[in-house]
């Protein structure tokens, strides 16, 4: 039997790591979410789903918009040097969100009065630009993102539209490892859906409240699915002729025999990736965000018997990830096994 608890002690982070922006203003930190902004990382949530993630000079993710369309709400959050994520209250007089657009003719930011740390994107013209967000305290920039790529595409004026939905099937597990229920999650935002034609991926998009759309298509046969290769969903095939089409619901179901006690899991507890191994072999565990990005992995030579790897909801450098669904996958017996796990809010 092998039991491994991984997370906070798997990778150590040196204090000499660089942040996206350094400063030399000597302020005493204040209590609560209206205090002095200090941190080594940040993340942007798009309707609650992870869109951009940055930590000590590294950044993943991008943003997109369509001409004339108002995009989903984006919320800025920060991560402290000791890996604690925190938001900032909207009514703080000393703190503000600074915004720098490289090309304001391509995209604009739309903000609501009194909501300082949330904004939306509206495309103005097709093209690409970058966006830098800054955590401002008393007029000084104390933390900044790297340039975030922003791509603006044309509003659909010609061609056909393919629509559909994604439904996550989540198995609940008790601490004992027994499954207790199966729940449907049909309204999740931020799940990447891929579009294939003649065996090639030609586009991808993210769900908005469980719904996805591909625009500007010509007549033909299209396949849609979601998930990385390690956790591929069922494939929905649709033939478009002269009218728009609805491919129906892509259902993301468990693959293989993984157990994930507990699921859903508290942010302070973590969840298990468990299975039984008939004989010793090299195995690998990978955790993916719903956008398809790999956020955590671990490989080892496993003996025969019961296996338990404990994931505490962090990325590879132990930075807490936002709450929400993730794919937990493990490769053994010559194939990938996967389930969706749910990290609960703090």
pLDDT at 70 exceeding the cut of 60: yes
CA nearest to 136, candidates 48, 55, 21, 51:
21
> Bigger pLDDT: 106 or 40?
106
pTM of the model: 0.66
Each residue of 236-294: pLDDT tens digit? 999 999 899 999 999 999 999 999 999 999 988 899 999 999 999 999 999 999 988 89
> Bigger pLDDT: 33 or 215?
215
Instruction: Confirm whether 14-153 and 156-346 share one CATH topology.
Output: yes
pLDDT at 325 exceeding the cut of 50: yes
Residues in the chain: 346
Residue 116: predicted pLDDT: 73
What is the fold, at CATH topology level, of the domain defined by 14-153?
Answer: Immunoglobulin-like (2.60.40)
User: In sequence order, what are the residues at sequence separation of 6 or more whose Cβ sits closer than 8 angstroms to the Cβ of residue 218?
Assistant: 159, 160, 240
CATH 1.10.3720.10 holds for 156-346: no
**Domain boundaries, given as residue ranges, for the chain:** 14-153, 156-346
Q: How many CB atoms lie within 10 A of CB 321?
A: 21
Question: Of the given ranges (15-29, 197-211, 221-235), which has the lowest mean pLDDT?
Answer: 15-29
């Amino acid at each position: 039997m092998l039991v491994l608890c991984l997370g906070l002690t798997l990778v150590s982070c040196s204090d000499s790591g660089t942040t996206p922006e350094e400063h030399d203003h000597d302020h005493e930190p204040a209590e609560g979410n209206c205090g002095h902004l200090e941190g080594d990382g940040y993340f942007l949530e798009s309707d609650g789903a992870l869109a951009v993630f940055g930590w000590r000079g590294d950044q993943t993710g991008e943003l997109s918009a369509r001409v004339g369309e108002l995009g989903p709400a984006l919320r800025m959050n920060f991560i402290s040097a000791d890996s604690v994520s925190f938001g900032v209250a909207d009514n703080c007089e000393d703190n503000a969100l600074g915004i720098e657009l490289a090309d304001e003719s391509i995209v604009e930011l739309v903000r609501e009065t009194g909501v300082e740390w949330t904004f939306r994107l509206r495309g103005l013209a097709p093209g690409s630009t970058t966006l830098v967000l800054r955590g401002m305290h008393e007029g000084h920039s104390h933390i900044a993102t790297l340039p975030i790529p922003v791509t603006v595409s044309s509003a659909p004026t010609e061609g056909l539209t393919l629509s559909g939905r994604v439904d996550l099937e989540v198995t609940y597990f008790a601490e004992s490892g027994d499954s207790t229920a199966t729940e449907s999650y049909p309204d999740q935002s931020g799940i990447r859906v891929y579009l294939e034609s003649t065996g090639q991926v030609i586009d991808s998009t993210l769900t908005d409240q469980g719904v996805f759309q591909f625009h500007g298509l010509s007549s033909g046969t299209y396949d849609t699915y979601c998930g990385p290769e390690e956790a591929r969903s069922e494939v929905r095939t649709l033939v478009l002729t002269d009218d728009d089409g609805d491919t129906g619901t892509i259902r993301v179901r468990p693959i293989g025999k993984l157990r994930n006690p507990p699921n859903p899991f508290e942010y302070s507890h973590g969840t298990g990736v468990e299975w039984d191994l008939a004989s010793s072999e090299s195995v690998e565990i990978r955790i993916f965000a719903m956008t398809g990005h790999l956020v955590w992995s671990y490989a080892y030579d496993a003996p025969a018997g019961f296996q338990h790897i404990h994931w505490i909801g962090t990325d590879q450098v132990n930075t807490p990830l936002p709450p929400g669904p993730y794919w937990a996958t493990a490769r053994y017996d010559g194939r990938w096994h996967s389930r969706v796990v749910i990290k609960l809010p703090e």
